Amino acid sequence: MLPIFHRRLERVRQRQENRGLVLYRRHLRDHSNPFDIPEERFIELYRLNKELARYVINTISPVMAQGVYGNSIPNLIKIFASLRFYATGSYQRDIGLSYLVSLSQTSVHRCIQQVTQAIETTITIHEVTFPTNEIEHNRIKHSFMDKFGFPGVIGCVDGTHIAISRPAREAHNFYNRKGYYSLNTQIICDDNLKILSLNANFPGSNHDSYIWRHTRVRQYLLQQYLQNRLRGSWLIGDSGYMLEPFLMIPFINPLDGSPESRYNHCHIRARNCVERCIGVWKCRFRACLQERTAKYSPSFVGSLVNAKAALHNLCIRFNVPLLEAPLLENDPSYWSHS
């Protein structure tokens, strides 16, 4: 009987400790406000400025379920815990230990799922959209021409790998040529590094050109071309893609000083936009980096990618500075998207 009594006593003691920890965390949450910290420190922690953070909170809070009990986690804390995860890709337990959110690992996990779903359904569908009207096409074309001397460009396309844990099903499809499991994500951006289109639905073993052939943007451009509506508009991509009337790629080994070489020079300068876009995006939201391997299912990682792409575009719209230097060529993380 004595061992049974001790086990029961230990369970009672453990429940009391857990109850005390919950009360302590709630006390920290109730007496801390992330908006009280300085603006620069705020951007460093959450990658958004305070104005943008308020916009995100006001936009997604109405679609987030709020608990009716007094001990439920406020939506404000859920959002800040998720933003901190997007910014760092750190372990959920470490994020929860921050006095600004003060949550258990399990609570942080639920917060990330709920906030990501809310961002994807309310913000991503409006912020990450490929332009389909001639006015917007002309604006982007003029901007590319002014900056790089390359006419007709309405966007740059490339692929980037988002590292994931070994999936439980069909893991071989997600094993990429670089030797790790990933999603191969197609990104199209403009000259301002705004993401116009993003597709995170394909396993890492798929080639960039295969993904391109199965995306809605290509189907749209092909349809517009067949109906003679593109009027000298095209995307630009690297030599991994196939030349099409609406997709321009570089020449292979052109002679120095030749027209093909001059074309390649302008092409490389213009296409560098998508390389810089990926570098800035991954630097701002480091949960996209290879060393921050996502411990989620491939489908939810795709949702995370969509949410972070929408926040990246909002950061551009709200002029949020990038406090850290963008990933450079000598940083191995930069080339993890190649």
Q: Give the pLDDT confidence of 301-313 residue by residue, as tens digits.
A: 999 999 999 999 9
31: pLDDT confidence band, cut at 50, 70 and 90? low
Give the pair of three-digit tokens for residue 303: 């949702």
Instruction: State residue 8's pLDDT score.
Output: 59
* Cα–Cα distance, 197 to 309 (Å, whole number): 9
Given a cut of 60, whether residue 102 has pLDDT beyond it is yes
Q: Residue 325 in 3-state DSSP? A: coil
Q: In the prediction, which pLDDT does 65 show? A: 78
- By DSSP bridging, strand 247-248 and strand 234-236 are parallel
- Spell out the domain ranges in the chain: 2-126, 128-337
254-309 pLDDT tens trace: 999 999 999 999 999 999 999 999 999 999 998 788 776 778 899 999 999 999 99
The 10 Å CB-count burial string (b at 16+, else e) for 226-241 is eeeebeebbbbbbeeb
